[in-house]
Structure 1
């Protein structure tokens, strides 16, 4: 979904929400970050990254604003006053400029469906969601400022002190937005009101909320999480999972209810490949020994997840391992390597045990 709109909507403040806090020890301890140390810190403070997931049989292709996943480093997120908020575009540019909200709102806007996923999303977990974002292409703001030929990255600052970066090429991609609306409504406070950046294909932390400054630099800058040892690759890998029927996570994922032999059951799931789109999904009921094509019920776009389903009729009673396998829009297949979320995001198959009686 990619369309143009005449301008950006206005909004009012929202209540301050509270989220789990990222262990403060990480920043101090990782003056010289190492994979082993970030792994230990994560293991001791998993609660810090759990966030609020969007998962289960009731997930929808477009997540409602109040259900869209959230992850934050803050105990209390900033409650920004739009009247005094500004967005500074500076650094290696010919014409630095600070936009007030109304000036930004007067610019031509783009409406774009995009899925975001947190780098700390475990296999099968729900720290990813899809929404329709409305905003100004970052490219328009940068072109107005006139970036130098030596530009390498943009360094973004947020009202809560957060920083992050991505390449100037990604910043000039027309799908990278400074968004002020979500699903046709002003950005909720917890999702970055009054403005955030939406960067398709990169993990959620690159999609800076409460953005206040975008600085063009000529070096490889490091953002908040990268300074802690995450990365250096923040591109979302191809992933797929099963979300229905209901399953529980206890010593390995397993369906809550049993299935009946020789009766059809609908297995449903999601697949996501960053900004590469999902070409197809396959399904296995024997832990990957054999595969069959899944139906794509919601294809989405190159920037979103897809929903898939299979009508599964188990021929006999027993224990079965169900999983899926996605192919992205370039023809590259999902990796089966079981990789931890640290430091570049998890990969592997989502295996769910089914009991057939």
Structure 2
């Protein structure tokens, strides 16, 4: 075997030793997180840190490209980065010790910093990255030493027995360490997920029957193939948040604190909310990241208690104008105090969604739902604190990242069918979709074909002013390529804004125009 081939082989095993060292680091850190601090997983903490610091355009790109799978894409990217970095550390330790160990220690310090700066960090949060770093560095050190001993014996022309002995020692240590890391890491992550599963607790939870129920009027749902259903199923409801993993919260330990500019500090348990009595509310939610014609909007039947009743317990002081809500993972949202206290706005603390306790990914056990405001300033999931304050004194998560502190929803309309890229046959074709103008309501929807006159669409009977309506226009479609445009007018007589605007700083606008091919 040539010297060049031999060198390539040792570099390969150096990279493998780095991967094993990295795997040991993560495995021991996961095990320590399970034992001492469940919120201290290094890769999840780093992932959350990345979510916090990436520039707004990259966040918008991730949401528009990957949608609800943006967290999976981030984890995959981080995993690939860990693999590459670990391999490089192994090679460095092989050719220039102790640079590989130093690189791994630096990675441990960075992950520890990411963990300790999280809002949910506990007093023992430093232990998982510390123990993981020590274990990973030790393994990388010993594997590097064994690999160099094997190389030296091989290149010095030592007899086959000595060369083979050094090779077996390295491979045995690498194999044992790698398999152990895999078993420990997977077991720790599995046990952590199983023991902290909010879903099992959620399934066993029995909520009291609501005092009032939403009445669905006759004609609220149109019978049109391809149109969005009146009520969005929980499994299909959009999810956009900053949580890399879904928080696991036991309702029996959950607390909501109301403090700040209040007459008295109030702390409520989950049972306290239930004892207030639940009511049903039909409310459409919209994400500020929803592009014109996008699907980051959904309609659901929520059960909860009025936010204004909870705020009255604390007594907001004169001069306060903002509710700074905080999630268990540290995310914050800025909501106008007036939206939470207005008798004409159904702002609620929701505990159920479409007839069942909130799904974990949608805020179990308690979230905020406020019609008329984009979700990033109104729909805090896993909410644990409401601080009564002022916009002048406090900023929420998205404000310093280029978004408006206050964000009323821009009413809009969407074509669900026919879709661009899906040809239809000539003849009568229903053009249909949904439109929304929360807190005001939709008066009418109009459709234009090929820049022709605007024709009124048929509307469904709305559940209320806070929900979307369905609409349909029967179109006599002729062969060829056609442009379909849609616009809405709300009950105040305002027309949907025609000009296109980006989602930042306070939501997109513009008429949706679709290209439809008729065969």
Q: 1:45 to 1:355 in 2, by over 3 A?
A: closer
Equivalent runs, 1:36-185 vs 2, <5 Å: 38-39=56-57, 41-42=58-59, 45-46=62-63, 50-51=67-68, 57=226, 59-174=228-343, 175-185=346-356
Report the CA distance between 1:51 and its aligned residue.
2.5
> Cα deviations across residues 259-314 of structure 1 (Å, max 9, x unaligned)?
31xx2111111101132211110111123x31110000242311111110010003
Conserved? CA contact 2:334–2:406, under 8 Å: no
TM-score by length of 1: 0.83
Q: Distance in 2 between matches of 1:44 and 1:270?
A: 25
What is the aligned partner in structure 1 of residue 399 from structure 2?
Answer: 226
Q: Distance in 2 between matches of 1:52 and 1:305?
A: 25
Report the CA distance between 1:244 and its aligned residue.
1.4
TM-score by length of 2: 0.58
Report the CA distance between 1:233 and its aligned residue.
4.3
Report the CA distance between 1:108 and its aligned residue.
2.9
Equivalent runs, 1:188-337 vs 2, <5 Å: 188-205=359-376, 206-220=378-392, 221-245=394-418, 247=419, 254-260=420-426, 263-287=427-451, 289-314=452-477, 316-337=478-499
> Cα deviations across residues 207-257 of structure 1 (Å, max 9, x unaligned)?
100000111114433211112111244111111111013x2xxxxxx2402
Conserved? CA contact 2:260–2:387, under 8 Å: yes
Conserved? CA contact 2:391–2:405, under 8 Å: no
Q: 1:194 to 1:273 in 2, by over 3 A?
A: same
Conserved? CA contact 1:186–1:193, under 8 Å: yes
Q: 1:196 to 1:46 in 2, by over 3 A?
A: closer
Q: Distance in 1 between matches of 2:474 and 2:299?
A: 25
Classify the secondary structure of the residue corresponding to 1:201. Answer: coil
Q: Distance in 2 between matches of 1:63 and 1:94?
A: 40
Conserved? CA contact 1:23–1:45, under 8 Å: no
Report the CA distance between 1:25 and its aligned residue.
5.2
Conserved? CA contact 1:272–1:306, under 8 Å: yes
Conserved? CA contact 1:117–1:127, under 8 Å: yes
Larger helix share, 1 or 2: 2
Equivalent runs, 1:10-25 vs 2, <5 Å: 24=49
Instruction: Pick the structure with greater CA Rg.
Output: 2
Conserved? CA contact 2:320–2:389, under 8 Å: yes
Q: Distance in 2 between matches of 1:22 and 1:294?
A: 46
Conserved? CA contact 2:457–2:472, under 8 Å: yes
Conserved? CA contact 2:481–2:517, under 8 Å: yes
Question: Structure 2 stretches of 5 or more lacking a match?
Answer: 1-43, 71-224
Q: Distance in 1 between matches of 2:49 and 2:491?
A: 39
| Equivalent residue pairs, number | 317
Stretch deviating more after TM superposition (212-221 or 123-132)? 212-221
> Cα deviations across residues 73-128 of structure 1 (Å, max 9, x unaligned)?
12201011111100111111112111111111100333110000110011111111
Question: Structure 1 stretches of 5 or more lacking a match?
Answer: 1-18, 30-36, 248-253
Classify the secondary structure of the residue corresponding to 1:170. Answer: helix
What's the RMSD between the two structures over aligned residues? Answer: 2.3
Q: Distance in 1 between matches of 2:48 and 2:370?
A: 26
Larger strand share, 1 or 2: 1
What is the aligned partner in structure 1 of residue 166 from structure 2?
Answer: none
Q: 1:258 to 1:49 in 2, by over 3 A?
A: closer
What is the aligned partner in structure 2 of residue 14 from structure 1?
Answer: none
Conserved? CA contact 2:256–2:385, under 8 Å: yes
Conserved? CA contact 1:283–1:325, under 8 Å: yes
Q: Distance in 1 between matches of 2:475 and 2:47?
A: 41
